[in-house]
Structure 1
Amino acid sequence: MFVVTVTYTAPLDEVDRWRPAHGDWLNQLISRRALLVAGRQVPLVGGVYLAPGMPVEELDRLLATDPYVLAGVAVHGIVEFTPLLVAAGLEDLKA
């Protein structure tokens, strides 16, 4: 499983131009369960995604299609981890 951080590299007014396309991209990935969770950081300096286990190269390919990345207004950071303890109802997230 992966925690993906998104860091804006451009002012918010520039990021906002790409927000609708980015939202569509996120919705497509979530509908396919290629991402499990997506949200904004507080304060708004980027976002955070939770992605299921997959080869890291596959995740890199998915993230490279992010409209924010294509527009040059954000970058991603990736942390891979193995979930060992989960809340009731989330057992399918365990490796």
Structure 2
Amino acid sequence: MFVVSLNYKVPLTEIDQLQAAHVEWLKACYAEGVFVASGPKKPRTGGIIIAQCPRDILDARLAADPFARAGAADYEVTEFLARMTGPGLEAFKEA
């Protein structure tokens, strides 16, 4: 499983122009079963994505993000093993 931290490199006015395309990209990644959760940081300096897939697939999806294609965000990827989960999240447990 991966935690992806996006950090915006451009003003929010530029992020807002890319937001609709970014949301469509997110929806496609959810439809593929790649993303588990996502949302903006508070304060709005970027976002967080939780993903469960092979690393090469994640890297390909991140490269296709409209924020990445426009050079509007950097991505820090951290891999971890979800050894414990809360109720209802057992499907995400890893051995």
How high is the TM-score relative to the length of structure 2? Answer: 0.95
Matched, 1:78 2:77: yes
Distance 2:26 2:75 in 1: 14
Distance 1:21 1:74 in 2: 14
Distance 2:87 2:38 in 1: 21
RMSD: 0.8
Unaligned 5+ segments in structure 1 are none
Question: Cα 1:59–1:34, aligned 2, differ >3 Å: closer, same or farther?
Answer: same
Partner of 1:64: 63
Moved over 6 A (4+): none
3-state SS, counterpart of residue 64 of structure 1: helix
Partner of 2:26: 26
How high is the TM-score relative to the length of structure 1? Answer: 0.95
3-state SS, counterpart of residue 35 of structure 2: coil
State the 1:14 CA deviation.
0.8
